Structure formats: C-alpha cells, structure tokens
Amino acid sequence: MTVSRQEIESLRPSRPVLSPWSKPRVSFESEPNGEGGIAFTTTVFLTGAECPFRCSMCDLWMQTTIDRTPVGAIPFQLRQALREEPEGDGFTRATKRWLKLYNASNFFDPRAIPVEDYAEIAELCRGYDRVIVENHPELSDERVLSFARSIDAKLEIAMGLETVHPAAMQLLNKSMTLADFESAVRFCSSHHIDVRAFVLLHPPGVERQDSVDWTWKTIDFAFETGVRHTSVIPVRSGNGWIDQQRALGRYSIPDLQMVSNFFSQVGARMVSSVDRVLAFDLWDWEKIPGGTASEREQLFRRIQSYNTTQNFDLPPKETAD
C-alpha cells in the first residue's frame, strides 16, 4: 500500500503562519560525543521552506513556510539565536561545543537554505567542533561537500531512516529505498562526514507486537551501515494522515509500555559501544499515552540519564523538590 502526496496534503490541519525573519527557537543540552566525553549542544530551530518530500508521518512541515526561504533570512535567524547561548560552567567546561542547525526540512535543498547564504552561515559556525544539519539521502551531492569544506568544524548529516520494515517503508512515502540511505552514508563517510539517523518506534505498517523488534533491526542496520548516532523517535499524532489512521482504527501511537519495553533492552543491546551513540527522543513526552505519573517520571528520568551518559546502569539523579 502506498499513500499519495495528494492524500497526505489533503488531511493536514491548518498550517501555522511563520516568518523566516523572526527570532528562532533555541535549546541547550548535553549529549555524549562518542569519545567518552560530553558535548554542549546548541540547537537552533530555523524557519524556512518546506521539504519537497511528503512523508506520511511527518509533522515538521508545521514548522516551515510555503514560500522559498529569502536570501539572508537564515543567517539573520542564526545570529539572533547564538546571542542566547549561556555562559558558565556547563558551557565553558564542556569537552566539545556542537551546533545543530535544524530547519524542519533539508539543509541542502536550495529552496530551504539558499546556497548564497552558505559563506555567512559558515562564518557564524566558527568556534564549534561539530555542526549537525538535517538532510534527505537523495540530496547528498556537491552542495554537502562545499559546505563541509567551508566550515571550521566536523560536519554531521542527520537523515531519516525511519524503518527497515518493507511494508512500513512503503506506507511512509519516504521517496527513498534502504539502498539510497546506504549510498548516502557511504557518500558522507568517504568524505569524512559523520551521519546520524532518525529511527521510528512503531511506524504505521508494523504490527504492534513486533514494533520493538523492528526498531532494533533498524538500529542495527543503521550502525552496520556506518551511522555514528541513532535517535529513536516514537511516532506522534497531529500531522493529519496519522490522525486519520487512528480514527479508522488502523493504527495506534506508541504508549508508555512500548517505550518501556524498548528501553529495557538497551543495556544488553548497546554493550561496549562507546563509538556508537543511541538516544531516545523525549520531545512531546507528555503526548505518549499510558502509565501513572510516577511511572512516567521514573522512565523519563532514566531515559534522560542514558541519553547523556550512555550508561544504562547509572541511576538518574533525583529531581529537587
């Protein structure tokens, strides 16, 4: 079964009106650097043109614009965001400083990030050890290499792998094959560019009882292909098509029990893997159904601790009253 672009677009809720000349949202966090240390990471959520692909589960289009991103808008947003970086021990003592430029689309789509802005963006990236951007495997080309050469940092490309389940991959309308993803990883690796992958927990098309197993199969594929960092994302509702499938009784989003089942296997699966980083995305945690308040808080803190330390057995710090 496939889902058409027209069907996906027709089921979308209203699009928020966003301006590429507004101050972007920015967040600060720590993440493992893959070398046994910690990187202080600044994530800038840039606003620009929507991705040309139409993945059926995607809700990122709500953070984009219909029109082409104007030249100069992305450097403007980045300058605004970097003024918010904190000063203090957590920032200055970090072993690495990383910068994520997430535009809810593809960094190397010229409609989203104008090529004319690359030089100024590269200048604003000075002082960071690593720059991480989002991109579709089909857009792995000379623009990637040009930008990589222009920055004084290690470039990392974050790409949506989602799943290796054949029926689910077809339903997701990813506009790529597993061979395409593998080819893009090889392209990046051959030019000393790192890759992180996004993997879905329980995508449509996978039987609920099999979802955790298929998520691990996808993680294994990502690491075996050469991915450095894999982020697991539970499928969210709210994009239109997913909501229709739920209303028709064809799909239900991951609940706390499924998340717990997945996370309980991390300790055994990720033994002795310092150079392979695994994280579970806690974005929109409150939307994951199920569990008591205590169970939800305990699991959240355990995942949060693992995401930062990569130590499954390390108990999370108690939260202050």
C-beta separation of 133 from 99 below 8 A: no
- Residue 317 located in a structural domain: no
What residue numbers bound the domain in which 129 lies?
5-306
CA torsion, ordered 276, 134, 108, 110, to nearest 10 deg: 180
What pTM value is reported for the model?
0.94
pLDDT at 153: 97
d(CA 281, CA 290): 17
- Assigned domain for 312 exists: no
3-state class (DSSP) for residue 165: coil
The pLDDT of residue 321:
41
Residue 257, φ and ψ in degrees, nearest 5: -65, -40
Compute the CA torsion angle 144, 149, 153, 155 (nearest 10 deg): 20
Residue 321 lies in a domain: no
For residue 86, is it within any domain? yes
Residue 239 · residue 59 · CB < 8 Å: yes
In a domain, 36, yes or no: yes
Tell me whether residue 221 is in a domain. yes
Q: Does some domain include residue 313?
A: no
Question: Taking Cα atoms as reference points, which of 145, 143, 131 lies closest to residue 78?
Answer: 131
Q: Say which CATH number the domain at 284 has.
A: 3.20.20.70
319 within a domain of the structure (yes/no): no
pLDDT of residue 37: 86
Tens of pLDDT, residue by residue over 98-109, are 999 999 999 999
Locate 190 and state its tokens: 């051959």
Q: How many CB atoms lie within 10 A of CB 242?
A: 21
Low-confidence ranges of the chain (pLDDT < 50): 92, 320-321
> Alpha-carbon torsion 154, 158, 159, 164, what sign?
positive
Per-residue pLDDT at 320: 45
Domain count, the chain: 1
